[in-house]
Amino acid sequence: MNPETDLPATDPTPFEALQQTGLTLLGQVDTFLAIVLRPWMFYQLGIALGLFAVAHLLRAWLGPKLHDWMRTREGWPKWRMRIFIVLHRRLRMIIFVTLIWHVIGFMHQITWPSRTYLLEIIAQLSSAWLVIALITRLIGNPALRSLVRYGAWGYVTIWILGLTDEAQALMESAAVSFGESKLSLWLILQAVVILIALVALARFLTTAGAASIRRNEGISPSMQVLAVKFLQVALYGAAFFMALKLAGVDLTGLAVLSGAIGVGLGFGLQKVVSNLVSGIIILLDKSIKPGDVISIGETFGWINALGARYVSITTRDGKEYLIPNEDMITGQVVNWSHSNELVRVDIHFGTAYGDDPHLVRKVAIDAAQSVKRVLSSKPPVCHITGFGDSSVDYILRFWIIDPSQGLTNIRGNVFLALWDAFKENGISIPFPQREVRMLGGGADGPEPQPGKEVTERPG
């Protein structure tokens, strides 16, 4: 019994596995180079380069003509024009793929199939790259589009060259162990690919579901927002955990992570959680909804959107304020259109004591009714509020139904109508005036500098 030959076999270390995989890939490369360096391979490479040059020249000739023809298609729908724009940008590759497959078919008729080996690889790669480039144009996000495109190009290239097993072994050898768990580059790649696919599916389902929810008129706007948010959280959360599960990640290991997140929520994320919970409360109690006209503090505007963390308010001057949800719960909020959009507007003015108050009230009501936005179904009223030092004070009250169109402008229009009506009826608006009296000097000596006595009286 030889102890040296009976020793149990040990698993290779990650470095040894990586080294062995690298040597295997080098052997594959040597074999491929040995095939490529044959004379007929050089001929095929020259044919491919010649076809690419021809495709480049044809692109330079056909591209401007196609562009000018597209500019004349004024009545085309937008989707058809976008298709032609994409084809115009990939015109060189389309011509090259068409030419190379025709040349391969012609060479199969006159020579051995082995003499088109390299051309077929180039044609397959070019066709796959072209199809991937065209399909990925459907992805709207530029960053995601580039990630999917380059990832698909890399995978298709490895698959066409027949190096999938070696590439997988190389990525599995690049791993880090955490106790009984093993995190490899292959596992990360699987998780990323599956996550991208599931997130894209979840995004499509979320968009379709949100459109269906918003079309349902039986659901209030606030409940629509809540339903859309719940759908997004549910689908994206399910996509994330399904991707980890399908990639082979042990989800029980996330228990420690969830505990750490809980501690973080208890200390550093109190405001974030408070805003999230406040947002849910706002959506459930329907106190505010998109389109409501509100004022909070010095901010007056209408609600543009309800977010998970904040409420977006757009003011009349175009500014957009992001108010934390917590402030909407704990602070005082004036909702001008909570139950209905009827808003009463008050303006104060005064007239001289010599004017008939009955005529003033009638003229003021008629002037308010002449303004377009003032409701005729709820007639304006005018009352005397007091006798001031220089004027009889009035209050004019009227109703509007569109507070989102602004309050300052409607007040200004009513004041302007009052001015015109008062001027037409001879009603004066008093204002303070100053009277200066010059006092004479004494009998002896030069006349002193005049003094001033100032009194105020109404105009």
Number of domains in the chain: 4
Of 268, 283, 304, the residue that ends a domain is 268
Q: Give the pLDDT of residue 388.
A: 86
Q: Are the CB atoms for 251 and 191 separated by under 8 Å? A: no
Domain co-membership, 363 together with 305: no
9 assigned to some structural domain: no
Domain co-membership, 312 together with 168: no
Q: Are the CB atoms for 101 and 121 separated by under 8 Å? A: no
Measured CA to CA, the distance from residue 154 to residue 125 in angstroms comes to 10
Measured CA to CA, the distance from residue 322 to residue 279 in angstroms comes to 13
455 assigned to some structural domain: no
- Provide the token pair at 98: 């068409």
Domain co-membership, 27 together with 131: yes
Domain co-membership, 203 together with 316: no
- Provide the token pair at 218: 């039986």
199 assigned to some structural domain: yes
DSSP string, 259-279: HHHHHHHHHTTHHHHHHHHHH
Using alpha carbons, list the distances in angstroms from residue 386 to 207, 355, 357, 419, 457.
60, 15, 12, 21, 18
Q: Give the pLDDT of residue 17.
A: 59
Domain co-membership, 31 together with 144: yes
Q: Give the pLDDT of residue 4.
A: 47
Domain co-membership, 101 together with 128: yes
Using alpha carbons, select from 406, 389, 229 the residue that is nearest to residue 300.
Answer: 406
Of 227, 251, 268, the residue that ends a domain is 268
Q: Give the pLDDT of residue 381.
A: 94
Domain co-membership, 66 together with 143: yes
Identify the CATH number of the domain in which residue 315 sits.
Answer: 2.30.30.60
Averages of pLDDT over runs of 10 residues in the chain (459 residues) are 48 59 64 63 83 90 86 80 84 90 87 78 89 82 80 83 75 68 72 78 82 74 73 81 71 62 65 78 78 82 81 83 85 78 88 92 93 90 90 93 83 94 90 74 51 48
- Provide the token pair at 266: 């208890």
Q: Are the CB atoms for 427 and 355 separated by under 8 Å? A: yes
Domain that includes residue 296, residue range: 274-335
Using alpha carbons, select from 247, 250, 331 the residue that is nearest to residue 294.
Answer: 331
Domain co-membership, 166 together with 188: no
Q: What is the 3-state secondary structure (H, E, C) of 127-171?
A: HHHHHHHHHHHHCCCHHHHHHHHHHHHHHHHHHHCCCHHHHHHHH
Q: How many CB atoms lie within 10 A of CB 45?
A: 14
Domain co-membership, 30 together with 121: yes
Measured CA to CA, the distance from residue 414 to residue 406 in angstroms comes to 13
Domain co-membership, 309 together with 363: no
Task: Please give the model's pTM, rounded to 2 decimal places.
Answer: 0.45
Residues 369-405 as b or e (16 or more Cβ within 10 Å = b) = eebebbbeeeebebeeeeeeebbbebebbbbbeebbe
Of 173, 206, 229, the residue that ends a domain is 173
178 assigned to some structural domain: no
Domain co-membership, 134 together with 37: yes
